């Protein structure tokens, strides 16, 4: 029995690439593709594929959110995350939201087929590259509390301790303590270093 595969990706070239890769496979049936989250959801109302290859960068909604929605509405569909970048946090979020696997766009035909067949059977599949960087990053990833992240965010926006204290309705001393803990946890030399490392660890984003 053939496995039907649907693709959600806004990159035309990637869709074409996957289509041509899968064309030669006997066990795969091409269900179609969507360039955004909305048309993906519309398609699923008509027809349910076995596996969805889902890009995490979509124009209207993140693949992470879409993954959650699709899994809630159609728990029987298996979702395989697809991305150019090997970002720890994205992999985790996709898996948390019900994805069965994660494949990088530089995957070979073999790796892609392996992944599709694994998730179609309900198994989990992660690209080798993803697995190895997952292990690497596990050692060095500091754990921040909710409050610390909040303070970090405000620091990166250029607020001073007293401004942050006012905003969070706590004393300057408290903010100062959080700041010290942040410096220690991220092993930062000072604020500049802290912000750079925070962006590197994806605690905050440089872009809005």
Partner DNA sequence: ATAAAAATCACTAAAAAAGGGGATAAGAAT
Partner DNA sequence: ATTCTTATCCCCTTTTTTAGTGATTTTTAT
Q: Does 25 bind DNA (CB under 7 A)?
A: no
3-state secondary structure of 45: helix
| C-beta separation of 194 from 188 below 8 A | yes
- Nearer residue to DNA within complex by CB, 10 or 176: 176
Q: Does 141 bind DNA (CB under 7 A)?
A: no
Scanning the chain, the segments in alpha helix (DSSP H) are: 12-23, 37-46, 63-73, 88-96, 109-120, 128-140, 146-156, 161-168, 172-185, 191-200
Measured between alpha carbons, how far apart are the two ends of the chain, in Å? 47
Q: Which one among 180, 200, 202, 205 touches DNA, defined by CB under 7 A?
A: 180
- Nearer residue to DNA within complex by CB, 167 or 202: 167
- Nearer residue to DNA within complex by CB, 56 or 155: 155
Q: Which one among 57, 117, 137, 174 touches DNA, defined by CB under 7 A?
A: 174
| C-beta separation of 42 from 68 below 8 A | no
Q: Which one among 74, 86, 177, 204 touches DNA, defined by CB under 7 A?
A: 177
CA–CA dist 122, 92 (Å, integer): 18
Q: Does 189 bind DNA (CB under 7 A)?
A: yes
Shortest distance in whole angstroms from residue 30 CB to its own copies: 13
Q: Which residues bind DNA (CB under 7 A)?
A: 143, 145-148, 155, 160-162, 168, 170-171, 173-174, 176-180, 183, 189-192, 194
């Amino acid at each position: 029995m053939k496995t039907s595969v649907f693709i959600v990706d806004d990159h035309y070239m990637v869709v074409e690439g996957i289509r041509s890769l899968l064309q030669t496979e006997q066990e795969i049936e091409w269900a179609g593709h969507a360039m955004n989250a909305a048309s993906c959801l519309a398609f699923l109302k008509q027809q349910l594929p076995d596996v969805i290859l889902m890009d995490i960068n979509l124009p209207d909604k993140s693949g992470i959110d879409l993954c959650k929605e699709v899994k809630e509405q159609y728990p029987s569909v298996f979702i395989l995350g697809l991305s150019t970048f090997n970002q720890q946090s994205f992999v985790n979020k996709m898996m948390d939201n019900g994805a069965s696997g994660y494949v990088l766009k530089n995957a070979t035909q073999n790796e892609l087929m392996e992944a599709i067949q694994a998730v179609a059977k309900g198994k989990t599949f992660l690209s080798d590259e993803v697995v190895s960087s997952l292990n690497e990053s596990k050692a060095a990833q500091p754990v921040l509390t909710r409050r610390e992240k909040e303070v970090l965010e405000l620091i990166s926006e250029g607020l001073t301790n007293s401004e942050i204290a006012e905003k969070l309705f706590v004393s300057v001393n408290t903010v100062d303590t959080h700041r010290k803990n942040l410096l220690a946890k991220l092993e930062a030399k000072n604020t500049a270093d802290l912000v750079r490392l925070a962006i590197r660890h994806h605690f905050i984003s440089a872009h809005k």
